[in-house]
Homo-oligomer: A and B are copies of this chain.
Amino acid sequence: MTTAPRTHRRGVKHGGEISNVPLGERIADQLRDLILDGVLAPGAPLVETSLAAELGVSRAPVRQALRILGLDGLVETVPYRGTTVRGLDRRDVEELLRIRTLHEGFAIRCIVERGDHSACDVLYACCDEMATVGGDVAALNRADARFHASLIEVADHALLITLWRTISMQVRHVMAMCNRRVADARVIAAHHRRIVDAIAVGEDERATMLLEAHVRDVIELVLREWSEPDAA
């Protein structure tokens, strides 16, 4: 859910072991990257037969993959018509970022309530990492995504994490669609660090406000580059 944890996989994290991960999920991962990297533009059709042929597999796992992506909100399937990469319009972006703020604010409250200090350590580490990426825009994006993902994870709220999966996927999608020119990485890292500072001293309201301000900046930045919404 959405969404509950999709599957339970045990074992094998290290090395390049033989994967017992169902084909469908691996295909989904592959297609997801293609979409999120912008290789598959919004509106592009994803034909089961063609994909199966290209990937050298049967249609069954491809179908499963498309369903997973549909779940993630990355593609749209119409019965008997086909599946296409989902387009995002201005309203989608606004909705997405507001919801994101809502959930991150909730995560902050969870952390503060528990007074979990190790959580702050994790977040500080993310900030440090963010400060070191220099001018690499892609790396900054990744570091930023990692910070926000960590914020959700350390909240230690299983359902929140589940919901976050869907949201973060679409956030990545939005970010991929605008070649965001960013400010200095160290400035952004400092912004984030201030949020963690507030969390560390238990001021969840201030932390939330800082976070809202941060996300609002991002919204503005994104929407400015959103000249032509390619209409879903």
Contacts and interface: CB of A to CB of B under 8 A. Distances in A.
Given A1-B3, A99-B160, A102-B102, A79 B21 contact: yes
A23 B1 CA distance: 21
B99 A166 contact: no
Interface stretch (A46-54, A67-75, A139-147): A67-75
Contact of A71 (B1, B9, B157, B163): B1
Contact of A3 (B3, B5, B77, B96): B3
A71 B1 CA distance: 5
Contact of A1 (B60, B72, B79): B72
Interface of A: 1-9, 20-22, 60, 64, 67, 70-73, 76-80, 86, 91-92, 95-96, 98-99, 102-103, 106, 157-160, 162-163, 166-167
Given A5-B76, A73-B162, A96-B159, 20 more contacts: A1-B2, A1-B71, A2-B163, A3-B71, A4-B86, A6-B77, A7-B78, A20-B80, A21-B79, A22-B79, A64-B67, A71-B71, A95-B158, A95-B160, A99-B157, A102-B102, A159-B167, A163-B163, A163-B166, A163-B167
